[in-house]
Structure 1
Amino acid sequence: MNDEQHISSLVLLHRHEALPAIKALVEAHAGLEIAAQGDCRCVVLCETNDQRALMDHIDALELLPGVLNVSLIYHHVESLGELDQPMEPGLSS
């Protein structure tokens, strides 16, 4: 069992006609969400339990017709045990 959570953001540059395929792929995977979208670019949030799953999502997005580029902008790894801990008051910015 993997005890990590990978939280990532991806910026996609795509042709306008690729957006329905991108939305369909995102809706088919519980760990993906479109956070922002423009006419020819969007930000996809990705939460996975391992790095291989993250790379599989990137590969799948890159293979969609009309997707020109997928850039990994942010990647954070946290243990599930750490994520389950309550935040201490005064530590947030």
Structure 2
Amino acid sequence: MSEAAHAKPDDIHIASLVVHVMPQALSSVEQSLRGVEDAQVHGTHPDGKLVVTLEGPSGGAILDKVAQIQQIDGVLNVSLVYQHAEPRHFLNQEVVNDQHSA
């Protein structure tokens, strides 16, 4: 069964990545990442590392974006650090802490 058959239309997938780049290409790669839909750069390091998050409707969509990032000139490696999926409506629910102080 294909991933499209498993994808739920109300799900959201969120992934975090470390993108390793040639240090001299850091700013051009950061600029190119602005062209990747639902990608956000949260930090950079002059040694050639970027912390990036992606959002998408399925794991396959996330992997497609990872493949797109890997094709950017100057990118050496993309490491998937974390991936999470949940129904979109859960993101708008309040988190309640049931633990009480003594």
Give the TM-score, by structure 2 length. Answer: 0.76
How many residue pairs are counted as aligned between the two chains?
A: 91
* Structure 1: unaligned runs, 5 residues or longer: none
- Per-residue CA deviation, residues 56-76 of structure 1 (Å, 9 max, x unaligned), is 110011111221110000111
Q: Once the two structures are superposed, what CA deviation does each residue of 1:33-86 show, in whole Å capped at 9, x if it has no partner?
A: 111101111111111121122111100111112211100001111111222322
Percent identity between the aligned chains? 27
4+ residue segments displaced more than 3 Å: none
Higher relative contact order (CA 8 A, sep 6+): 1
Query: Which of structures 1 and 2 has the bigger CA Rg?
Result: 2
Unaligned runs of 5+ in 2: 1-7
2:30 aligned to 1, 23, 41, which one? 23
Report the secondary structure of 2:94's partner residue: coil
Give the TM-score, by structure 1 length.
0.82
